[in-house]
Copies of this chain bind each other. A is one copy, B any other.
């Protein structure tokens, strides 16, 4: 149970009979001007003593920790978790470790998390928590201390952003429902104060207007990104506008709540209400019915964010335009489009009549 003592490079050097600086060159440095035998002796000694380099000391002199900071929201939204885990793995592939901080439910500890990261001298920070969108202090800290990339807009701007095209997402989902013949299309949206929500809502309205349908505010319900919140919003929406035949939901997690509320209300999906969502989290296909959704490249978002951040750290210039990854509609059963697709295919099948 006692703390194991670490063996330092000096001990390795002593048993190999060289100065510790020489041992350093062989074991960690790149500038190896050492004979092959000496090097072998040093490596053997290190091996035998179980030497593990102390990167703390290295960081001190090199003024770089090879560590990234990651601010994530709490684990309630699988989509965000997926993105941040992908970011962590990508960072590690590039030789960087990741120090994470998960926001407490209120998000009030964000600034304190950032300060912790800064004090530990991370080389850069990835802000992957939607709650940060409302946090002035975090924006300032991030801008003041070293490079950072955000996955949502940050107050005050000035930080490169990686994300997807939310307006497209809203438009694509809605267009699909319109294409299936729906007209009374409701939407269970995220928090109105978030940009994601507003963009997706714009896309939704774009598609509606394009089809000559005037958007009706009564068809729009706000929810808090949780299944529970979405279930409640759906219930209210159904009471307010019973004529709804289709629903565009702003996240797969909320779609679970929507499906659940629909189930309780006795409305069949897709026969009674067609549902299209966004994200395509891994188990979207295992919901009942399998969820049609606009796939957001979650993992890729995390990876690209790391790429960008690493480039900034290396001092390379980065584009100041937000990097928006393309989205793609995945048709499954919840929208009722699959049967239509199959029918269409059957109609045009050359092997048939």
Contacts and interface: CB of A to CB of B under 8 A. Distances in A.
Given A52-B119, A60-B56, A121-B55, A231 B101 contact: no
Contacts of A94: none
B288 A288 contact: yes
Contacts of A92: 101, 109, 113, 116
Which bucket holds chain A's interface residue count?
A: 35 or more
Contact of A115 (B52, B146, B286): B52
A285 to B, nearest CB: 8
Contacts of A82: 75
A76 B282 contact: yes
Given A3-B146, A144-B4, A228-B286, A99 B97 contact: yes
A136 to B, nearest CB: 16
A275 interface: no
Contacts of A99: 67, 97-100
Given A56-B56, A102-B89, A287 B312 contact: no
Contact of A283 (B89, B117, B253): B253
A81 to B, nearest CB: 5
B104 A89 contact: yes
A85 B98 contact: no
A1 interface: yes
A312 B85 contact: no
